[in-house]
Amino acid sequence: MLSSKAKYALRAVTFLAEKHAEETWALASEIAEAQDLPKKFLEAILVELRDRGIVDSRRGRYGGYRLSRPPDRIKVGDVIRVIDGPLALTPCSSRTKYGACADCVDPVICSLRPVLQEARDAVAGVLDNCSLAQLINRPRPKRSVVRRIVA
């Protein structure tokens, strides 16, 4: 399952992808307000993304954050892996962080492992073939209007 932290990271980099053509830096507070994210939590996420090469940061009056490379060169899967780790459902089905499951008798004869590897490959196929540029250019439904009924 995708964590809230990964969803926040994707919302932040989507915001930065939309601003990429302007070649400007965005403050964490600007991203947080535009995406309705908790600022302190977002700042920690942006540091992780910076440390892993997804975003650049700059201090000072004209500082902030921006994507480290064009949005068409950053994949959704890359962002998720930075925040949540491997896309696999189990350690034994991971391509990048393989490990035996704690309760597994023998991964070689495990009947679940092949199907979990297929699931991992299917998820990775979708997420690694979708760039931030494609993500922001996808048609989106109009924002729904939620009406509160006051009793």
Q: Is the dihedral of CA 45, 48, 50, 54 positive or negative?
A: negative
Half-sphere exposure in the Cβ direction for 117 (13 Å, CA): 14
Pairing state of beta strands 55-58 and 64-67? antiparallel
Amino acid (one-letter) located at 142: K
pLDDT tens-digit series, residues 30-57: 999 999 999 999 999 999 999 999 999 9
Look up residue 109 and give its two tokens.
Answer: 């004869």
Q: Which burial class, exposed, middle or buried, applies to 76 when counting CB atoms under 10 A from its CB (0-12, 13-18, 19+)?
A: buried
pLDDT tens-digit series, residues 69-126: 999 999 999 999 999 999 988 888 888 888 888 887 887 888 888 999 999 999 999 9
Q: What is the mean pLDDT of the chain?
A: 91
Kindly report the number of other CB atoms within 10 A of residue 22's CB atom.
9
pLDDT recorded at residue 110:
84
In the chain, where the domains are located: 4-71, 84-131
Fold of 4-71: Arc Repressor Mutant, subunit A (1.10.10)
